């Protein structure tokens, strides 16, 4: 067993050979770790399947239990995913349905708006502005667009297409104007 490790619990760090700087508190915490370093497992079966991953944190019953070789993950009450790296996972849906994080509401930030996807993934919406240069208001250029006499057709056909913004020039000849 490595010299700078701490194991507290039945079979905690059981398979560790050269993994250094690990802390395992709880039965079977970091059980299959062999050479992984600087991991923290707090709870029964926490980081159970980690073998060579480094810098992982697992807090709670079976937290990070699915991690095998990935590194730099934080799993709080979540089993994680084998071999992933650089991921933070907090709890498992649908166990908890609300989240409160202090110090966020009402704080102005510069940058992109954060959104939450249906599968609870945090991210930002993509902006095409990052692919453009010299972005400025269109000012009088919009007069050219409006000169095309845009219309919004109302189609009553079965299986019709949704309302769209079109110019009269692009209106299909088979439709009434």
CA of residue 47 relative to chain centroid, distance:
20
Say yes or no to pLDDT of 164 above 60: no
More confident residue, 156 or 89: 89
Tell me if 30 sits within 8 A of 43, measured CB to CB: no
Tell me, what's the pLDDT at 171? 56
Is the pTM above the cut of 0.75? no
Tell me, what's the pLDDT at 75? 97
Say yes or no to pLDDT of 79 above 70: yes
At residue 168, what are phi and psi to the nearest 5 degrees?
Answer: -60, -30
More confident residue, 104 or 67: 67
Range from 51-55, 71-75, 145-149 carrying the lowest mean pLDDT:
145-149
Tell me if 2 sits within 8 A of 19, measured CB to CB: yes
Q: CB-based burial of residue 81 (10 Å sphere; 0-12 exposed, 13-18 middle, 19+ buried)?
A: middle
Range from 47-61, 119-133, 155-169 carrying the lowest mean pLDDT:
155-169
Say yes or no to pLDDT of 72 above 60: yes
To the nearest whole number, what is the mean pLDDT of the chain?
A: 84
């Amino acid at each position: 067993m490595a010299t700078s490790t701490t194991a507290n619990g039945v079979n905690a760090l059981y398979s560790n050979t050269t993994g250094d700087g690990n802390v395992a508190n709880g039965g079977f915490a970091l059980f299959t770790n062999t050479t992984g370093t600087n991991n923290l497992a707090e709870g029964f079966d926490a980081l159970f399947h980690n073998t060579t991953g480094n810098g992982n944190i697992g807090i709670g019953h079976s937290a990070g239990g699915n991690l095998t070789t990935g590194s730099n993950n934080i799993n709080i009450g979540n089993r994680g995913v084998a071999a992933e790296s650089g991921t933070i996972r907090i709890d498992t849906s649908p166990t908890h349905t609300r989240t409160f994080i202090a110090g966020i509401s009402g704080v102005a930030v510069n940058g992109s708006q954060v959104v939450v996807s249906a599968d609870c993934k945090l991210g930002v919406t993509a902006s095409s502005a990052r692919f453009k240069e010299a972005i400025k208001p269109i000012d009088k250029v919009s007069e050219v667009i409006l000169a095309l006499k845009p219309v919004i057709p109302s189609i009553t056909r079965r299986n019709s297409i949704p309302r769209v913004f079109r110019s009269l020039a692009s209106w299909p000849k088979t439709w009434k104007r």
